[in-house]
Structure 1
């Protein structure tokens, strides 16, 4: 019998296992082989991006995890694309500006004129009306993070798909299976479909992460140092894995409205992932019963919340701590 088994080989499950191992625990990771939401995610670390709509406890959790990310990335010991340049949040129309102004005011971010924005990002469209620089926001490459974690845990990962927690022979089972958590635990974790594009061109066209509203649709553009640019993401209450013409069209049109120069980039990948959502869109962290611990339902914030989730779940498993605000028992 294993002492602790983590069910789920994505960024949440691996981060938890890594933290548990660092504290001396005997851990096995069961990886069902599915590429979870992390594989599609752009890796924006933006704790304040939606603070107007979030619960105060979740805002505090997002902020806490953002503060943990520099040390977390450094501990991995390899380049995981952690970048501190910041995010330019943009509005292209008067309506978009009106919709975003309240949030920017709450964040106490000074409004930048188009000329100031283009001095930071010369490739921006002349249509950009206003924006702000969120200098605290970061980005990381989730695929690099997961690869690094897999390397460090390679002797503890077992390729195995399970249908029931009764199939797991362990004293403690940590369920970090993303959308698959619902079938294993009965908890209300729903899949929220997101389509994401990856482009590639000469490095240097963009430095900052960009997020904007284009005709009422939110879009983000995340540049990597190697010339990759991630564009996303649709948000659809659907379970299929189809890349649709409409989804690709909407994302590309919005991206080119913001950065016309992306028209010359190669479209290298179209992908679909499913964010694990909960009824209140906050994660479930903590004990479900005496044996089962849950770490799931991170919705849009799985990458950002990986470090704090790892610390909290290690505290639950090894120290008997409680995460009252996010207990899975609330459902």
Structure 2
């Protein structure tokens, strides 16, 4: 490490920490990445949707700006990762469907507002949806198409990021950090998900449990959708994300501390909601039920900013960690190099009074 002018320790080995470590190493930093179980946690359980436009809502300008900036970076980000494994992409568009009149009105509201912000969305009628995705339920009334809202296989992504880190000279250290004072590098990046709040006073990051199902295709089953399908069933958000070998179904959301056990109620709701979107989904093999802990903040925006001369925070991405990976890596590298990225304005940790700064 003595051949490098600058050194940085990245604490956290999910998609955010791995991408930051990779970017920093490419930029000439000597990088150590610390995590007791690299490539696991919330990143391992994620659905992999990249959907900032179809999840937009009036008044959430910062979330849309940050999400759209990251979505724009994903094609190049994914292309660079193909040097280290297969393509991470599984779909190239998303379709959000409405099962009742209230949901249909919400889709119209989203389309109008997001279009006014300069992004293109298209409202589809029942017949158009049937033509595009005939396996979907006949009770669907309308849909919102977002071309370019791709999805990625989170586990392929994690493997590619680890390979990219190794190839770039990142030192992967499989142990936990209990105090940032243990680290002797020039700079520190804290990207430890729900553990971040234990390592920096006042960070408003809490665990929110999310359960998913992974389904495997079988001979003769109804084909999976060709794009990500999202909807609201009895007020619960639901999604179907195609994979090479099947479908990921998600996701529940519970405030349950650090409990990662999958519940019968969660599985029941996921199956019922999935069947409302795609009635024939019961033909698929259920081969995995998993739960992860999303690192959530009170306003559902990440924490990206410098809190001391040595420490940069990049955490609290909630359910959008995969989506926000490229823009977070860019923003964090800018902070390490003494500048800032305008696209993430509004994500500074200091927007919360409890976040303490040290000189």
Please tell me the TM-score bracket, short chain as reference: over 0.9
Query: What's the offset of the Cα at 1:50?
Result: 2.4
Confirm or deny that 1:244 pairs with 2:263.
yes
Partner of 2:144: 132
Distance (Å, rounded) in 1 between the aligned partners of 2:92 and 2:165: 30
1:292-331 equivalences in 2 (<5 Å): 292-321=311-340, 324-331=345-352
- Choose 200-209 or 32-41, whichever is displaced more: 200-209
2:179 corresponds in structure 1 to 164
**Distance in 2 between the 1:57 and 1:156 partners?**
34
Contact 1:96/1:214 (<8 A) preserved: no
In the TM superposition, structure 1's runs of 4+ consecutive aligned residues that sit over 6 Å from their partners are: none
Unaligned runs of 5+ in 1: none
Cα RMSD (Å): 1.8
| Distance (whole Å) between structure 1 residues aligned to residue 288 and residue 74 of structure 2 | 27
- Please state if 1:201 is matched with 2:206: no
CA distance in structure 1 between the aligned counterparts of 2:92 and 2:172, rounded to whole angstroms: 34
TM-score, length basis structure 1: 0.94
| Distance in 1, Cα, partners of 2:270 & 2:98 | 16
Match of 1:280 among 290, 299, 302: 299
Mapped pair 1:69 → 2:74: yes
Contact 2:91 2:226 in 1 (8 A): no
Q: Secondary structure at the match of 1:33?
A: coil
Quote how far apart the aligned CAs of 1:84 are.
4.7
Give the total of aligned pairs: 330
- 3-state secondary structure, aligned to 2:225: coil
User: CA shift at 1:329, angstroms?
Assistant: 2.3
- Per-residue Cα deviation, 1:29-49 (whole angstroms, up to 9, x for no partner): 112216221111111011113
CA shift, 1:53, in A, is: 5.2
Task: Structure 2 unaligned segments of length 5 or more: list them.
Answer: 116-120, 353-359
1:183 is displaced (CA, Å) by 0.4
Quick check: 146-155 or 308-317, which moved more? 146-155
21, 36, 39: which one pairs with 2:41?
A: 36
Shift in Å, 1:174: 0.5
CA 1:52–1:189 in structure 2 vs 1: closer, same or farther (change >3 Å)? same
The Cα of 1:305 is off from its aligned counterpart by 0.7
- 1:107: how far off? 3.5
Deviation for aligned residue 1:128: 1.3
